Amino acid sequence: MVTGTLSPRMKIPGNMWVEAWETARVTPARRKKRLFDDTKEAEKVLHYMAMQKPADLARHLLPCILHATILKLKEEGG
């Protein structure tokens, strides 16, 4: 098993990272709580968009639609 270490700069006595490193529990990433819940954030975006007036929604989406159109035209050689 590969173990990590702090850099020499972070090992200076009294550095808070030394204490944090020594007291941290070893936990695989798959068992840790997610820092970012993409599903929850996507639901927030969809809810926000559903509450918008049609003109405001179009204003939000227009740059994405134009960008996608430009990319499509470039692909087609136009």
DSSP secondary structure letters along 23-67: HPPP--GGGSPPS--HHHHHHHHHHHHHTS-HHHHHHHHHHHHHH
Largest Cα separation within the chain, whole Å, is 64
Query: Is the pTM value of this prediction over 0.95?
Result: no
Mean pLDDT of 11-25: 83
Asked whether residue 20 carries a pLDDT value surpassing 90, the answer given is no
Instruction: Tell me whether residue 70 is in a domain.
Output: yes
Instruction: Tell me whether residue 64 is in a domain.
Output: yes
Q: For the chain, how many structural domains are there in total?
A: 1
Taking the CB of residue 69, how many other CB atoms lie within 10 A of it?
10
Range of the domain at 54: 38-75
SS3 (DSSP) at 74:
helix
| Residues 6 or more apart in contact with residue 17 via CB below 8 angstroms | 6, 10
Residue 1: pLDDT band (50, 70, 90) is: low
Residue-wise pLDDT tens digits, 21-62? 888 888 898 898 888 999 999 999 999 999 999 999 999 999
Instruction: Tell me whether residue 65 is in a domain.
Output: yes
